Structure 1
């Protein structure tokens, strides 16, 4: 199953981009043994509409163009569920084992997600009630993807 991170906004060169890339590279090296591949990041620019609704709709249309048909959508949203790392890994495993060929983890822009994206998600996840900078969300997501790969590979986990 291919893993795609679809994000609104471009992550500029710097330590956050390097750290996110390092985690995704680690996941990409280990993932194929357990049926998780790709680990691509695809970015779209922020919407330019005059209203929040028009910006969200513009971003949703751009994001939809990045998502493989039939991909399991995971949307990062402040109103989502706060999952344990093991639960996130188990979700990916269930989707993979259920025959999904792709999963897309979607990061919205500053205004959040349009219902066209959020309402079609198989899973809506929150990294907590606090507001996180876009750069750190990318790093945290990349680390959780790497952690999911290690968990599903049978590596010892300190929480078990």
Structure 2
């Protein structure tokens, strides 16, 4: 009986940690015929993935700015996304923009967690911002790619 009591106490101590896990990114997929698949990441999950880091400019940053975070293709890896899929990027304010998954497969598109070594707040376009390596690829310096730089990213729907 004491063992069950101790086990119960241990579980109660863990409960706040489990309850406070706060997903910042939800990914849903309807590309499979059976049922939609859902994956949720909190900041710690995203930090546990391999981190990329590069300097780039875009229409929203005037000087080379360092961004870091996991690559989008790594974030999506658990879902086995087909290369011809479309990703609907969804921001906190419900702004939505489609991007082909091929962008993530062919370029180091990042889910940025940090800008110049600092976490981004919602006010600073965070906590998650889709970033393309535009400075490394002149073909990405077109208006369509700037439209895909969704900040305050909260969800991705795979179609």
Determine if the TM-score, normalized by the shorter chain, exceeds 0.5.
no
> Relative contact order (alpha carbons < 8 A, sep ≥ 6): 1 or 2 greater?
1
Question: Of Structure 1 and Structure 2, which has the larger fraction of its residues in strand?
Answer: 2
Which structure has the highest helix share of the two?
A: 1
Larger Rg, first or second structure (1 or 2): 2
